[in-house]
Amino acid sequence: MRCLPFAILLCAAASGQPTYDLLIKGGHVIDPKNNIDRVMDVAIAGGKIARVAENIPESSARRVAKAGGLFVTPGLVDIHVHVYAGTGQKRAYTGDLSVYPDGFSFRSGVTTMVDAGTSGWRNFPDFRQRVIDRAATRVLALLNVVGNGMSAAGENDPKDMNSEEMTRMAKAHPDVIVGFKSAHYSGEGWPSIDGALQAGKATELPVMVDFGRATEERNLSTLLGDKLRPGDIYTHCYSGLRREVVDGKVNPAMEIGRKRGIVFDVGHGGGSFFWNIAAPAFEQKFYPDSISTDLHTTSMNAGMKSMTNVMSKMLNLGLPLTEVIRMSTWNPAREIKRPQLGNLDVGAEADVAVLALERGSFGFLDSAGARRDGDRRIEAEMTLRAGRVVWDLNGRAGTDWKSFDYTRPRGGAGKKKQ
- The residues, ordered by sequence, that sit 6+ positions from 5 with a Cβ below 8 Å of its Cβ are 46
CA distance 375 to 70: 17
**What are the strands, taking DSSP E only, across 221-368?**
233-234, 245-246, 249-250, 263-264, 352-365
Q: How far are the Cα atoms of 235, 310, 378, 390 from residue 352, in angstroms, in the given order?
A: 25, 19, 15, 10
Nearest residue to Zn ion, using CB? 294
Residues 264-293 that bind Zn ion (CB under 5 A): none
116/319 with CB nearer Zn ion: 116
116/317 with CB nearer Zn ion: 116
**With CB under 5 A as the contact rule, which of the stretches 22-30, 113-121, 218-226, 372-380 interacts with Zn ion?**
113-121
CA distance 389 to 309: 21
26/95 with CB nearer Zn ion: 95
Quick note: the x/- pattern for Zn ion over 116-155, rule CB under 5 A, is x---------------------------------------
265/294 with CB nearer Zn ion: 294
41/210 with CB nearer Zn ion: 210
Q: Does 41 bind Zn ion (CB under 5 A)?
A: no
Q: Which helix (H) or strand (E) holds 180?
A: strand 177-182
Cβ 292 to Zn ion shortest distance, Å: 9
With residues binned 3-state (H G I as helix, E B as strand, rest as coil), the percentages for the chain, rounded to 5, are 25, 30, 45
**With CB under 5 A as the contact rule, which of the stretches 17-25, 94-102, 115-123, 342-350 interacts with Zn ion?**
115-123
Q: How many CA atoms lie within 13 A of 302 on its CB side?
A: 19
Residue 212 near residue 184, CB atoms below 8 Å = yes
Nearest to 208 by CA among 193, 189, 188: 193
116/161 with CB nearer Zn ion: 116
Q: Count the neighbouring beta carbons within 10 Å of the beta carbon of residue 139.
A: 23
CA distance 325 to 293: 14
64/85 with CB nearer Zn ion: 85
Residues 351-380 that bind Zn ion (CB under 5 A): none
Cβ 236 to Zn ion shortest distance, Å: 8
47/103 with CB nearer Zn ion: 103
294/349 with CB nearer Zn ion: 294
Q: Does 294 bind Zn ion (CB under 5 A)?
A: yes
Residue 273 near residue 238, CB atoms below 8 Å = yes
Cβ 82 to Zn ion shortest distance, Å: 6
Quick note: the x/- pattern for Zn ion over 57-96, rule CB under 5 A, is ----------------------------------------
What is the widest separation between alpha-carbon atoms in the chain?
71
Cβ 210 to Zn ion shortest distance, Å: 6
Cβ 80 to Zn ion shortest distance, Å: 6
Q: Site for Zn ion (CB under 5 A): how many residues?
A: 2
Q: Does 115 bind Zn ion (CB under 5 A)?
A: no
Cβ 288 to Zn ion shortest distance, Å: 15
Q: Which helix (H) or strand (E) holds 192?
A: helix 191-203
Cβ 413 to Zn ion shortest distance, Å: 28
Cβ 235 to Zn ion shortest distance, Å: 7
Q: Count the neighbouring beta carbons within 10 Å of the beta carbon of residue 261.
A: 11
Q: Count the neighbouring beta carbons within 10 Å of the beta carbon of residue 398.
A: 12
CA distance 103 to 308: 15
CA distance 58 to 24: 9
Chain contacts with Zn ion (rule: CB under 5 A): 116, 294
